[in-house]
Amino acid sequence: MNNYKNFINNLEKTAQLANRNIEEVDLIAVSKKKPSSDIQNVIDEGHISFGENQIQEIERKWPDLKNLNANIQLHFIGNIQSRKVESIHENCEVIHSVDRMKVVKLFNEIEKLNNVRRKYFIQINTGNEPQKSGVMLAEADAFISECLENYTLNIIGLMCIPPLNEDPKKHFLTLGVIAKNFNLSSLSMGMSNDFDVALECGATHIRIGTKIFGERN
């Protein structure tokens, strides 16, 4: 698993340059479309945080992996369909992509029924892109307020995916400002191509796929 080791070395250097402590950053290895054997290789290196974006794939791969490996933290980073909320809650410890009040209510009901607490990020559509998930910027404050005031979910922070053709820095800084306004301490931002900028802007969770697992087929 040279990719993984190389990335960890790179991450340590990048964190130093950004005056960040690597211990404060949760590296989420995004394992979508990757076989269990590849994931197990990364687990064998001591890694515990993984990210997936399709619940069907999670249901297929992760029960066995979790049975074999204690302490795994599985992060759901994809679009949340209402009918999949129960399975997402059952299988994932951290959920990064909450963006509709309907799913907030569903997660809230499930937590009351099951008495199982998860951690949540609210996804903000910092580029106001109509084709992309996330709460639009103009609605962000009202949405976050409603979640924090009216529901008991453990919302720890905000998440974003900047537009492909724009400088990610302004989006990461925008996310940081919104989070600070609500005293939310966690920022899920930065992927293989822009994690260095995200670290400079205060990311606490970075989502890395290709640089750890290689290209996807």
Q: From first to last of its 217 residues, what are the pLDDT tens digits of the chain?
A: 589 999 999 999 999 999 999 999 999 999 999 999 999 999 999 999 999 999 999 999 999 999 999 999 999 999 999 999 999 999 999 999 999 999 999 999 999 999 999 999 999 999 999 999 999 999 999 999 999 999 999 999 999 999 999 999 999 999 999 999 999 999 999 999 999 999 999 999 999 999 999 887 7
- Token look-up 């996807």 returns 216
Which amino acid makes up residue 204? T
Alpha helices in 69-136 (DSSP H): 85-91, 101-114
Would you state the pLDDT for residue 96?
Answer: 98
Give the domain 2-213 fold.
TIM Barrel (3.20.20)
Q: What is residue 37's predicted lDDT score, i.e. its pLDDT?
A: 96
- Model-level pTM? 0.97
Exposure string for 46-59, b = 16+ CB within 10 A, e = fewer: ebebbbbbbbeebe
Residue 2: per-residue pLDDT: 82
Instruction: Please give the pLDDT value at position 216.
Output: 77
DSSP SS3 for 45: coil
| Contact (Cβ atoms closer than 8 angstroms) between residue 21 and residue 15 | yes
Asked if 168 and 187 touch (Cβ cutoff 8 Å), the reply is no
Task: Let me know if 99 is exposed, middle or buried by CB neighbors in 10 A (0-12, 13-18, 19+).
Answer: buried
The end-to-end CA distance of the chain, in Å, is 18
Q: Are 107 and 89 in contact (CB under 8 A)?
A: yes
**What is the Cα–Cα distance from 139 to 145, expressed in whole angstroms?**
10
Spans of all domains in the chain: 2-213
Instruction: Report residue 174 as tokens.
Output: 């925008």
> What residues form DSSP beta bridges with 186?
157
Specify which residues 126 forms β-bridges with.
none
Give the number of C-alpha atoms closer than 13 A to the C-alpha of residue 80, restricted to the C-beta side.
30
- pLDDT given at position 215: 85
